Chain A
Amino acid sequence: MRARSIDRQARIDDAFTYAGLALVLAFFGLPLLWLISLSFRDAAEVLVSTINPIPDNPTLDNYKEVLSSAQFPRFLLNSAVLSAIGAFGALAVAAPAAYAFSRIDFRGRRALMLAVLALQMISPLVLAFPLYRYFASLGILNSLPATGLVYIAILMPLATWMLKGFFDGIPKELDEAALIDGASRARAFLSVVLPIARSGLTAVFVIMALLAWAEFVIPYILLTGPSQLPISVGILNFQGTYATNATGILAAGSVIAVLPAVLLFVVLQRFIVGAFIAGALKG
């Protein structure tokens, strides 16, 4: 009798849990569904007030228009270039530093690590004005490689903390054994620690690439010409510029712009989420 009432209670609770899941899905999913729906509507249908997400005459014209525009593919390419520079560069700078923080016991280590954490809290908006002035006087405003360097800088603190977490998880005995065998520290790092940390490196790389893909303030301020903009800034140019089916085209452009990041994230989420939580809460 008692077991059955507990069972019934659990079923009622399950119903509430499902209701909760449905509400969450509606709030977070419906805007995305709506965006996708608009991206397949033609100019006439965009102007019809309806809550049916499936268009009567689905069309690919919006996507064709976006991809054949002069700017849009360029924006995607620029985003890819900046993300690659930022993510590779951040790893290259952060990995040796994270290794030193993890393995070498030196004076001021803790203070220096805290300083790196404090860097993470400095908004790119604070850095952007002096950099704008500096870049202008050097004549490197609107340069993708120069802006990529700033990406490396703003991604570096988080990358360092995350990688330190991964290196801490690798037994010290492994690289100590290599050192006793006569290998240098650099050698122990490159041929013992890095291969073991490969999954961690990959997770951090993907997170850095995602953050770079979404970065806004730095490119918005340091890149000025439309041919250099990444998609995270360039999509603003599509807001309200097209005469015929402005909304449909904007929707199609938005879908294309978020697709790489969302797909990458959903496929690798288990992997990335663990690394992210470790990075945010350790220390």
Chain B
Amino acid sequence: MAVAASRVATRRPARTRPRLPEQVAWLTPLLVIATLFFLWPVVNVIRLAFTDTTLLRDGYSYTLQTFSQTLTDPSLPQVLGVTAIFVGASVAGQLLFGLAIALILQRAVARRLHGAVLVRSVVLSAWVMPGILIGVIWQIVLNEGPFGLVNSALAAVGLGPVAFLSDTDLAVASAVTANIWRGTAFTMLLLYAALQTVNDELLDAAKVDGAGRMRTLWHVTLPQIRPVLLVNAILITIATLNTFDMILALTGGGPAQATEVLALRTYNSVFVNFNLASGCVFAVFLLGASLLLTVIYRRILREDDE
């Protein structure tokens, strides 16, 4: 690398102005990759959504029918409903748990209590795991067979077994639980960092004024970390909306499509039903939702700057 640099240096004396603006050379690799692997696929996913292409034959023609067929599919409301519950409950749970853990850790560190590092490490371990493995782990933990942790514990006190993964309602709750387990670390990290920036004088003033802890949290602490909370909520919403790996290993979308979220349906349309165009229609909607959330995210950060 150093050799290449000196060659550049000798070929072109540093003070003369290059003809191309100098940023071009620095940005070229990024722009090439972005064009090939983002721009081009995005243009094509939109284009293919207006065709009748499948994985089973080569040719295709342009049509609006895929859109109307995909959107009028009688099973779509079920998918959207499960997605709303899965994303909504996951995000709410991760925010609540993440905030609670961040507050607990903050107090534990301030009081020099034992175990804070261990707890943080364990929470973070869940977060760095591949989603498939998280699905496998929870599939084992919630299993109705003798090796299921929760059902073994219930059996020890004479209860159960509970059909965590084969009852349609419970399966959704199980998927949400596993997803909260998976993603809470991210919220914990961001909120822990945000809590360090909360003005101590305001907290002390609230205490002097006799405000209770919950009131102080609600009226003093949370308003100060509001931008981080919102940004955090948006980032985890985008992440949850677009994932299906954990669910694939946990329930496979079942029982009877009870846990088939939009991202999994998107995949299934292409690789189970071979309907590439229909999958592209879903992908366009996922793309639209993510970009809309990104715009909101930017707006929040910008307001925070001002």
Complex contacts, B124 vs chain A, CB 8 Å: 265-266, 269, 273
**Per-position binary interface string of chain B over residues 8-49, scored 1 when its CB falls under 8 Å from any chain A CB and 0 otherwise:** 110011110000011101110110011011101110110010
State whether A18 touches B132 (Cβ < 8 A): no
Known: A214-B128, A216-B130. A127 touches B37 (CB 8 A): yes
Task: State the CA gap A214–B127 with chains docked (Å).
Answer: 10
Q: Which of B30, B115, B120, B130 contacts A116 (CB 8 A)?
A: B30
Chain A positions 64-90 with a Cβ under 8 Å from a chain B Cβ:
none
Task: State the CA gap A198–B231 with chains docked (Å).
Answer: 29
State whether B126 touches A261 (Cβ < 8 A): no
Q: Which of A48, A186, A214, A257 contacts B9 (CB 8 A)?
A: A186
State whether B181 touches A27 (Cβ < 8 A): yes
Known: A130-B44, A187-B9, A261-B129. A152 touches B136 (CB 8 A): no
Known: A214-B131, A254-B136. A21 touches B22 (CB 8 A): no
State whether B107 touches A122 (Cβ < 8 A): no
**Residue B152 at the chain A interface, CB threshold 8 Å:** yes
**Residue A170 at the chain B interface, CB threshold 8 Å:** no
State whether A129 touches B125 (Cβ < 8 A): no
Tally chain B residues at the interface, Cβ within 8 Å: 102
**Per-position binary interface string of chain A over residues 104-136, scored 1 when its CB falls under 8 Å from any chain B CB and 0 otherwise:** 101001001011111101111111011111100
**Residue A210 at the chain B interface, CB threshold 8 Å:** yes
State whether B129 touches A186 (Cβ < 8 A): no
Known: A31-B137, A184-B5, A250-B136. A123 touches B242 (CB 8 A): yes
Complex contacts, A122 vs chain B, CB 8 Å: 38, 42, 287, 290-291
State whether B155 touches A49 (Cβ < 8 A): yes
Task: State the CA gap A36–B263 with chains docked (Å).
Answer: 31
Chain B positions 274-306 with a Cβ under 8 Å from a chain A Cβ:
276, 279-280, 283-284, 286-287, 290-291, 293-294, 298, 301
A89 to chain B minimum Cβ distance, whole angstroms, is 9
How many A-B residue pairs have C-beta atoms within 8 angstroms? Tell me: 289
B116 to chain A minimum Cβ distance, whole angstroms, is 7
Dominant secondary structure at the A interface: helix
State whether A14 touches B113 (Cβ < 8 A): yes
State whether A216 touches B125 (Cβ < 8 A): no
Dominant secondary structure at the B interface: helix
**Residue B62 at the chain A interface, CB threshold 8 Å:** no
**Per-position binary interface string of chain A over residues 246-261, scored 1 when its CB falls under 8 Å from any chain B CB and 0 otherwise:** 0100110010011001
Task: State the CA gap A277–B235 with chains docked (Å).
Answer: 13
Q: Which of B22, B140, B301 contacts A35 (CB 8 A)?
A: B140
**Residue B121 at the chain A interface, CB threshold 8 Å:** yes
Complex contacts, A254 vs chain B, CB 8 Å: 133, 136-137
Task: State the CA gap A233–B129 with chains docked (Å).
Answer: 12
A272 to chain B minimum Cβ distance, whole angstroms, is 9
State whether A38 touches B267 (Cβ < 8 A): no
Known: A17-B104, A34-B140, A266-B125. A216 touches B26 (CB 8 A): no
Task: State the CA gap A221–B271 with chains docked (Å).
Answer: 9
Complex contacts, B36 vs chain A, CB 8 Å: 153
**Residue B56 at the chain A interface, CB threshold 8 Å:** no
Q: Which of A14, A31, A150, A257 contacts B37 (CB 8 A)?
A: A150
Complex contacts, A213 vs chain B, CB 8 Å: 128, 130
Instruction: Name which of B70-78, B141-149, B162-170, B198-206 contacts chain A.
Output: B141-149
**Residue A243 at the chain B interface, CB threshold 8 Å:** no
State whether A93 touches B129 (Cβ < 8 A): no
A-B contacts, 5 listed (Cβ < 8 Å): A97-B29, A117-B298, A123-B263, A129-B41, A152-B33
Given contacts A100-B27, A221-B271, A257-B133, 5 further A-B contacts (CB under 8 A): A94-B30, A115-B34, A123-B287, A153-B37, A235-B249
Chain A residues proximal to chain B, CB less than 8 Å = 10, 13-14, 17-18, 20-21, 24-25, 27-32, 34-35, 38, 41, 46-51, 92-94, 96-97, 99-100, 104, 106, 109, 112, 114-119, 121-127, 129-134, 149-150, 152-154, 156, 160, 179, 182-187, 190-191, 210, 213-217, 220-221, 231-233, 235-236, 239, 247, 250-251, 254, 257-258, 261-262, 265-266, 269, 273, 276-277, 280-281, 283
